[in-house]
Amino acid sequence: QDKHRYSGIVEDCCCDYETVDHLNEEVLHPLLQDLVKTPFFRYFKVKLWCNCPFWPDDGMCRLRDCSVCECPENEFPELFKKPYHHGLPSDDLKCQEGKPQAAVDRTLDSKAFRGWTETDNPWTYDDETDNSEMTYVNLQLNPERYTGYTGPSARRIWDAVYSENCPKYPAEELCQEEKILYKLISGLHSSISIHIASDYLLDEATNLWGHNLDLMYNRVLRYPNRVQNLYFTFLFVLRAVTKAADYLEQAEYDTGNPTEDLKTHSLMRQLLYNPKLQAACPLPFDEAKLWKGQRGPELKQKIQAQFKNISALMDCVGCEKCRLWGKLQVLGLGTALKILFSVNGEDHSHQTLELQRNEVIALINLLNRLSESIKFVHEMGAAAEKLNEGT
């Protein structure tokens, strides 16, 4: 019976659940897993020590595993340092390593890659040119998993994200655009919960890690909307990546390691121009339907301001590793929003896409996280539901 819940077209998207599962399993997941391991995609520039702009710090992290620790500064690509740390001695650089525990014309002048930009993303809060206390984090060493971050601190963030920034209006009253913001946040929330469930500390005494299917069922699977929103978010981000295909194909993935960099470029090309994806799901999400009405521009500004607040809230997350992944994934979503809605071309003549290197790193890592969540739900969902029926 539950199978029927997730059949048919993913709401507001253009592909069905079965196709998404099949494409993810066969094409996207393997490619993304390889991509995020490349030197270009595994280092993320982030400011982890920042003041929460809304309330005093209430860090509530219980496990040592919440923290991200320093690793040798020569580890991340030398080329990454240059544009951002101009004039600074390299000794000031720190690298972090983990411990064990809109009416949119759909065409883009995307052939115009002119180097990575440093212009701030209009959808997010972070200042790209602010280098104070910026660090590079090796994402491979800091997996998103259970950290013990829970209780009032974590609850306050999610409450603020939902109630202050994208209130849960009754669905009928919600215009399409606002509903989309809610679904993106809910989809991301589902994905975070699924990662906690897939890599959970089952026994603290023996440091035993494994799947917590009960948690996955109780936080995500028993609410069909949360699963639907996960698929929606995945297709939304996938559309952004494929819309920017020509730009991303031309982009520079240099890290100073020619063999690895060629591999990164080749994997990107396989992702961006995948014949199986183009045949089965050529338009994962149709952004051209949005921002059409008279209120279009006003609504876009309102939603942009709401999303910026959500981005700022990530500085209030009281556990370092959760903050890292929160900031990365919100920047990834902000980048998808920028690709789909912030390249203005009302005159349909000239649209220029400019992305920061860090935005692309966030975008691809976010897509990978969502892909992992979809795979986990597809593979373990039935077992989790069965387990729960038995209790």
163 contact partners, CB below 8 Å, separation of at least 6: none
The token pair that represents 254 in the structure block: 């240099």
- Residues forming the annotated binding site for FAD? 145, 147, 158, 186, 189, 219
Kindly state the smallest distance separating residue 216's Cβ from ligand FAD, in Å: 11
Torsion angle (degrees, nearest 10) of CA 155, 156, 161, 166: 100
Do the beta carbons of residue 373 and residue 380 sit within 8 Å?
Answer: no
Judged by CB under 6 A, the stretch of 100-108, 147-155, 241-249, 272-280 that binds ligand FAD is 147-155
Whole-number Å distance between alpha carbons of 116 and 112: 11
For residue 376, state whether it binds ligand FAD (rule: CB under 6 A). Answer: no
- Residues forming the annotated binding site? 145, 147, 158, 186, 189, 219
Closest to ligand FAD by CB, 317 or 333: 317
Fill in the per-residue mask, 240 to 259: x = in contact with ligand FAD (CB under 6 A), - = not in contact.
--------------------
Site for ligand FAD in 96-125 (CB under 6 A): none
For residue 380, state whether it binds ligand FAD (rule: CB under 6 A). Answer: no
Whole-number Å distance between alpha carbons of 168 and 229: 14
**Which residue's structure tokens are 């701030």?**
120
Three-class DSSP category at 15: coil
Kindly state the smallest distance separating residue 196's Cβ from ligand FAD, in Å: 4
For residue 147, state whether it binds ligand FAD (rule: CB under 6 A). Answer: yes
Please state whether beta strands 200-203 and 134-138 pair in parallel, antiparallel, or not at all (unpaired).
unpaired
Catalytic site includes residue 69: no
Catalytic site includes residue 322: yes
Q: Which of 13, 50, 66, 322 is catalytic?
A: 322
Judged by CB under 6 A, the stretch of 8-16, 185-193, 274-282, 361-369 that binds ligand FAD is 185-193
Rounded to whole angstroms, what are the CA distances from 42 to 141, 207, 271, 350? 9, 26, 17, 33
Among 96, 110, 135, 190, binds ligand FAD (CB under 6 A): 190
Whole-number Å distance between alpha carbons of 50 and 253: 29
Do the beta carbons of residue 6 and residue 221 sit within 8 Å?
Answer: no
For residue 360, state whether it binds ligand FAD (rule: CB under 6 A). Answer: no
Kindly state the smallest distance separating residue 66's Cβ from ligand FAD, in Å: 8
Fill in the per-residue mask, 305 to 334: x = in contact with ligand FAD (CB under 6 A), - = not in contact.
---------x--x---xx--xx--------
Kindly state the smallest distance separating residue 221's Cβ from ligand FAD, in Å: 11
Among 33, 117, 131, 150, binds ligand FAD (CB under 6 A): 150
Among 155, 222, 269, 295, binds ligand FAD (CB under 6 A): 155
Beta strand extents in the chain (DSSP E only): 43-47, 68-71, 95-98, 134-138, 200-203, 208-210
Among 149, 234, 285, 376, binds ligand FAD (CB under 6 A): 149
Whole-number Å distance between alpha carbons of 103 and 289: 6
For residue 236, state whether it binds ligand FAD (rule: CB under 6 A). Answer: no
Among 96, 186, 371, 373, binds ligand FAD (CB under 6 A): 186
**Total residues binding ligand FAD (CB under 6 A):** 23
Do the beta carbons of residue 101 and residue 201 sit within 8 Å?
Answer: yes
Q: Which of 273, 267, 270 has its CA nearest to residue 245?
A: 273
40 contact partners, CB below 8 Å, separation of at least 6: 77, 253, 254, 255, 260, 261, 264, 361
Q: Interface with ligand FAD by CB under 6 A: which residues? A: 144, 146-147, 149-150, 154-155, 157-158, 186, 189-190, 192-193, 196, 219, 226, 314, 317, 321-322, 325-326
Active-site positions?
Answer: 319, 322
